[in-house]
């Protein structure tokens, strides 16, 4: 089993002006992130606009990421769909394309009970012999994985972790507390909580900000593992000014815009999620320049 740990960027999906996948720039971003010391690559997660990609594009992206990563770090694939049947199909496809770990988001739009979610994940785990990381992001999906449900799912051998993007630290803390006697990794989906996740016994984070300054984000984890809590805290605190830019729009759009402003031809997010005010653009530009002056990258 792949060890679930560290800083794993949900790599953005570069697009050209016609909104087609920019293969060469995707390869460039894989190498840029790995070169900066990240501990995994997560294809078509939330920051990768997985919600806006069709299945053919997801297959194309995963093939590219797996090939370019070349085993240097684990590759995670977001294979969750609304139905169990489709999630199994997409998970099997991800396995056939060489993914190391599946990240499976909760079903969305239709309300699901905790027993519905238990049955969904249990059936997927039985059908696909791969490590599975649960993905809880109730603000986007409308369905939340309760701590007690995560504890029950952790009993299943190939359900090996959970990403919590609820933004509720106590929820993530309960995930950690209720699975501490299992071989189970809890990852923060909120970049501001990564260090606190580690201090509480978690395993790191799936960090959208790692697309913008991957070295800084990787060093939150690296410094912590070296016992240098002061440096880990510095790296954690470094992201505050950028995260304050999220008030100007969809965080995925802010992240992709920032990477483009750093000089990488990643394009815009797919319409209609591609608009930021002039004030927002100016603020992001100012923040990025201040980071460059401080050597934060």
> What is the domain-level CATH number for residue 199?
3.20.20.70
- pLDDT for 20: 97
Residue 274 domain-assigned? no
208: containing domain: 6-229
Which is the catalytic residue, given 5, 58, 163, 256?
Answer: 163
Question: In this structure, are residues 167 and 129 in contact, taking their beta carbons and an 8 Å threshold?
Answer: no
Mean pLDDT of 37-43: 98
Residue 219, in any domain of the structure: yes
The pLDDT of residue 40 is 98
Q: List the catalytic residue out of 135, 175, 221, 291.
A: 135
DSSP 164-218: E-SS-HHHHHHHHHHTTTSS-EEEESSGGGHHHHHHTT--EEE-GGGGT-HHHHH
Rounded Cα gap, residues 113 and 229, in angstroms: 40
Helices (H) and strands (E) in the chain, counts: 13, 8
Q: Is residue 182 part of a domain?
A: yes
Active site residue 163: yes
Mean pLDDT for the stretch of residues 12-18: 97
**What value does the mean pLDDT of the chain take?**
97
Q: Provide mean pLDDT across the span 140-151.
A: 96
pTM for this entry? 0.95
297 domain-assigned = no
Asked if pLDDT for residue 1 goes beyond 90, the answer is: no
Beta bridge pairs of residue 187: 163, 204
Q: How many domains does the chain have?
A: 1
In a domain, 246, yes or no: no
Give the phi and the psi of residue 35 in degrees, each rounded to 5: -60, -25
């Amino acid at each position: 089993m792949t060890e679930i740990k560290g800083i794993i960027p949900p790599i953005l999906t570069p697009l050209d002006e016609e909104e087609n996948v920019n293969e060469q720039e995707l390869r460039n971003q894989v190498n840029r992130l790995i070169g900066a010391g990240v501990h995994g690559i997560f294809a078509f997660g939330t920051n990768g606009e997985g919600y806006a990609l069709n299945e053919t594009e997801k297959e194309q992206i995963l093939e590219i990421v797996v090939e370019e990563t070349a085993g240097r770090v684990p590759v995670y694939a977001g294979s969750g769909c609304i139905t169990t049947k489709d999630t199994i199909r997409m998970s099997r496809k991800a396995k056939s394309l060489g993914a190391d770990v599946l990240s499976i988001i909760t079903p969305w739009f239709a309300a699901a009970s905790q027993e519905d979610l238990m049955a969904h994940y249990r059936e997927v785990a039985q059908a696909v012999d791969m490590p599975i990381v649960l993905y809880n992001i109730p603000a986007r999906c409308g369905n939340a994985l309760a701590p007690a449900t995560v504890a029950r799912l952790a009993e299943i051998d190939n359900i090996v972790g959970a990403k919590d993007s609820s933004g509720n630290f106590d929820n993530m803390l309960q995930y950690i507390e209720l699975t501490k006697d299992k071989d189970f990794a809890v990852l923060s989906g909120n970049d501001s909580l990564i260090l606190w996740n580690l201090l509480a016994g978690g395993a790191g984070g799936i960090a959208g900000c790692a697309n913008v300054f991957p070295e800084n984000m990787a060093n939150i984890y690296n410094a912590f593992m070296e016992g240098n809590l002061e440096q880990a805290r510095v790296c954690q605190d470094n992201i505050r000014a950028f995260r304050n830019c999220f008030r100007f729009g969809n965080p995925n759009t802010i992240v992709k815009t920032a990477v483009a402003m750093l000089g990488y031809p990643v394009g815009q997010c797919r319409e209609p999620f591609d608009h930021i005010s002039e004030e927002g653009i100016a603020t992001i530009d100012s923040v990025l320049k201040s980071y460059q002056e401080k050597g934060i990258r």
